Amino acid sequence: MNSTIMRVRYISNLLCVFAISLPSFRAAGQTRMFFSVGTNVNTELTASPNLSLGISNNSISTGSYTTEYNWGKYLRFDFTIEKRFFGPYYWLTGLKINQTGYDYKESVYTSTLRNVYLSMPLLARINLNNANSVYLDIGLLQNYLAYSHLKESFQQSVASQNIGTHLSRFSTCLYFELGVAFGRLGMHMFIQSKAFGSSKDFADSWGLDRNRSLFLLYYHNYSFKSNGMLLTYRLR
């Protein structure tokens, strides 16, 4: 039932995106396309333990759990369509591919998560002085979890599988980007605010005891955010 509600909300949000952006994209005005590749300078996932599981004294310590990783660990790919609205103001939409996750290692156990999100942006752009040299973007991202793989081990036991069906597929977050262009090339810095998700309990199908699994203990409710840099090329 909850997954159905989430799908309905996500589809409704997408329809709102199209309804808002369609008039400006159909109107007469300059249209340009951009392709970007970059990396998350910092990707952060934060979660709190699922206290309803009755965590034992032998489990991972309670409290919020945060992972942060630096330059180059997770990549991003963006395809952006820009449509001039009026003056220095533009609408942007397109497709963003974003990787997140974590790597946690201790002496007797490890936990590694890899997520791939497809995001549809609805952004407003200010092209300062219409000089095509400095851009400021702000708006919303609608995120869809396309892929999620979890691998964990404890001593000699190893569990590994795709867990996308057990996680929230849809989320929404704020997005901010500042760019400087030199002809067709540009450098952009972005900040993606927290997006929230949750997971179902799949302990019965997991190869590790719940008290030996970082993910099952903590990632009942979680959030993720990121910031980084993009190298952008204007296609037209």
User: pLDDT per residue over 186-235, tens digit each?
Assistant: 999 999 988 888 887 787 888 887 778 888 877 777 788 888 999 999 99
pTM score, whole prediction = 0.80
Per-residue pLDDT, 60? 39
CB 187 within 8 A of CB 156: no
Give the closest residue to 192 by CA, choosing from 141, 147, 120: 141
- φ/ψ (deg, to 5) at 30: -70, 135
Per-residue pLDDT, 51? 43
Three-state SS for 26? helix
The answer for 50, left when phi > 0, alpha when psi is -120 to 50, beta otherwise, is beta
CB 189 within 8 A of CB 218: no
Per-residue pLDDT, 62? 38
Beta strands in 58-133, from DSSP E residues, in sequence order = 65-69, 75-86, 89-105, 109-127
Give the closest residue to 80 by CA, choosing from 18, 37, 16: 37
Q: What separation in angstroms does the CA of 139 have from each of 70, 146, 230?
A: 25, 22, 17
On whether the 2-234 domain is CATH 1.10.287, my answer is: no
pLDDT digits (tens, 9 = 90+) for 37-71: 998 887 777 776 554 433 333 333 334 445 555 56
Per-residue pLDDT, 50? 54
Per-residue pLDDT, 44? 76
Place of tokens 């309803």: 52
Least confident of 5-19, 29-43, 89-103, 182-196: 5-19
Give the closest residue to 215 by CA, choosing from 107, 118, 103, 117: 103
